[in-house]
Chains A and B, each alone.
Chain A
Amino acid sequence: MDTVTSDRPPLPPIAGDSTPETGLTPALSPPQPAKRTVARRFRELTIERRILAGFSLVFIGILIIGAVSYRNTTILIENSRLDTKSHDLLQLLNTVDVAMDEAENNHRRYLVTGEVVYLKSFRSLTEQKPTYLKYLKDLTAGLPQQESRVDTLQKLIEQQINAETGAIAKRDGGGFEAVRRIALEGAAKRELAAIHRIIAEMETDEHQSLRRRLSESTLSTTNTIVLLALGAILQLVLLASVYYLIRHDITARRKVAAELQLRGELLEAANKELEAFSYSVSHDLRAPLRHIDGYASLLSKAVGDSLNDKAKRYLQTISDSAKQMGQLIDDLLVFSRMGRQEMLHTTVNLDQLIKTILYDLRLDLQGREISWTIDTLPEVPGDPAMLRQVFVNLLSNALKFTSTRPIAKIAVGVETKSAGEIIVFVRDNGVGFDMQYLGKLFGVFQRLHRADEFEGTGIGLANVRRIVHRHGGRVWAEGIPDQGATFFVALPTRRPRT
């Protein structure tokens, strides 16, 4: 029910401010149809959100590149470890292969010649066998196929060694003749052939693994390089966009700041002009009025006795009009001062304020029958002198417009204490007003009553509104013709910005 309109029209948009980048929040824009492209959505975001989005994308990109690079590098390291293992295995297989060959060949030589020196290879193999097997098992751990081959290999080696051991024992017991046939063929010819075959299989297998891993590593490396290159380009593009956004925003802000400063200077100049104007009004406009009243009085004194009643009334009217205009000027100056005057920010005890005002108005109360209802009023933040003006005006009005009532009823109270503001009202049973003129009620020099009904310049409520607005509050009124009026003043409980 707040009908109060602002004293000042809203500032026209500042040039360059219309770009959506500087818009406050996306919520301010009207609802859009559901089909919205990502780009459009992005354009509706605030600059901070857009920059944040840009940086987030860069960050996500870095994370992805990091993760993929890590994975690829891990693969490369693992492959290289496996390659080392494969090479070790291949070398070991070769050693074993040679050792088996030598053992068999030299053992045959021993069978033929009986030279102990030929047993060296066989003994060496017998000694090395557990070591070979251990390494073979180690190097094939985790490869089931190779493991089972190692098991077979182990059996074959043992069989070969056993066969050879048996042959050597026979040679030692029965001489060359006992082993003639064996010496020609070899004790473990079949086993050795099987061993060669198995070792060849294992070698083939390892070579295949090596080739597979090589191609895998090559692919992985290529992928990483491509990813890094693409990522770097993408990051560059993103960072460039973010840089563009920030720079664009800074430029826009600078422009707005410059505009604001210009406006501030213009306002200051306008304010100075206004001050000069009201000073001039105060000084120069009063003088002719003083003269009108002065000369009218002098005239009345000079020829007053010879004037008839009509002429005397004319002279009186001249004086009265001059005085009235003087009052108007004074009121206007007060109104103008109320808008410019620096505000004090203290706490005002409304209870105390109303009491003081009623004491000061006591002369106006003489000869009046008034029924007062005054609630306990709270304290509010504000300027004491200005708020005093508000309640002087409201109470004076209440007194003025109930002057035709045999018993005036005036109430001052707190309507509700809603969050963040205190609403104080002044209610009277006076002549009231028609709600259709509500819009004019708080205007400067607006009067709803004829001058001969109630005196006044029509500035009081305009002052009330201006002061309350400067306190960050609201004013409104309710009235019924011939029944009374209620004026509401809502004041914020916290100090306003200005």
Chain B
Amino acid sequence: MTAAKPILLAEDNPRDAELALAAMEEEHISDKVVLCHDGAEVLDYLYCRGQFKSRLKGNPAVVFLDLKMPKVNGLEVLRTIKSDISLRPIPVVMLTSSREEKDLAESYALGANAYVVKPVEFHQFLTAVRELGTFWGVINEPPPEGSPSTN
């Protein structure tokens, strides 16, 4: 059952965040979304520290990660997640404006599970975010808690 597992959305731009939430609203999954405003917050959440010190334990169902963020950028967050044995199973979807080959290659090399370029057109953006939210937050079965990856 994935209902309890939150979707972690890392997005420094409040407008992008609002639009993403508006998209998820339509699928009624917006209440599952935890919004982080930079990479440091994402790591705080994952390691239950700072403002997330008292949150319920457990990994999120998925992390939607923007590439360009203040403090700690997306690629650095991705590197941390994928090099931590307890965080590695969390699916990470890069959700970014960059279509640069360099970013794509680097993301996949670090172990990103998906890479989605945010479409400029809102309807496409809506569809993309909705489908991502539904797939990773509802359809996809996340790894069981407390069973770190064997590799």
Contacts and interface: CB of A to CB of B under 8 A. Distances in A.
Interface residues of B, number: 20
A222 to B, nearest CB: 83
Nearest to A330: B99
Given A290-B19, A291-B15, A319 B122 contact: yes
Given A287-B97, A291-B16, A298-B22, A326 B122 contact: no
Given A287-B13, A287-B16, A298-B22, A293 B96 contact: no
Contacts of B121: 293, 319, 323, 326
Chain B CB count within 10 A is highest, among A284, A290, A298, A326, for A290
Contacts of A298: 19, 22, 122
Contacts of A283: 67-68, 96-98
State the 10 A-B residue pairs at the shortest beta-carbon distance, nearest first: A326-B120, A297-B122, A294-B19, A294-B122, A293-B122, A286-B97, A291-B15, A283-B97, A283-B98, A289-B120
Contacts of B55: none
A330 B96 CA distance: 15
B15 A295 contact: yes
B98 A294 contact: no
B67 A296 contact: no
Chain A CB count within 10 A is highest, among B15, B118, B122, B125, for B122
Contact of A282 (B19, B97, B122): B97
Nearest to B118: A290
B100 A290 contact: no
16 contacts: A279-B98, A282-B98, A282-B100, A283-B98, A286-B118, A286-B120, A287-B13, A290-B97, A290-B118, A290-B120, A291-B16, A294-B19, A297-B123, A297-B126, A298-B22, A319-B121
Contacts of A279: 98, 100
Interface in B123-140: 123, 125-126
Contacts of A297: 122-123, 126
Contacts, number: 59
A322 interface: yes
A292 B68 CA distance: 20
Contacts of A295: 15, 19
Interface of A: 279, 282-284, 286-287, 289-291, 293-298, 319, 322-323, 326, 330, 333
A326 B19 CA distance: 17
A295 B126 CA distance: 12
Contact of B120 (A284, A296, A323): A323
Contacts of A291: 15-16, 19
Contacts of A326: 120-121
Contact of A333 (B16, B99, B119, B122): B99
B99 to A, nearest CB: 6
B125 A294 contact: yes
B97 to A, nearest CB: 4
Contacts of B96: 283
A290 B98 contact: no
A331 to B, nearest CB: 12
Interface in B71-102: 96-100
A290 B122 CA distance: 6
A326 B98 CA distance: 13
B25 to A, nearest CB: 10
Interface string B10-22: 0001011001001
B118 A282 contact: no
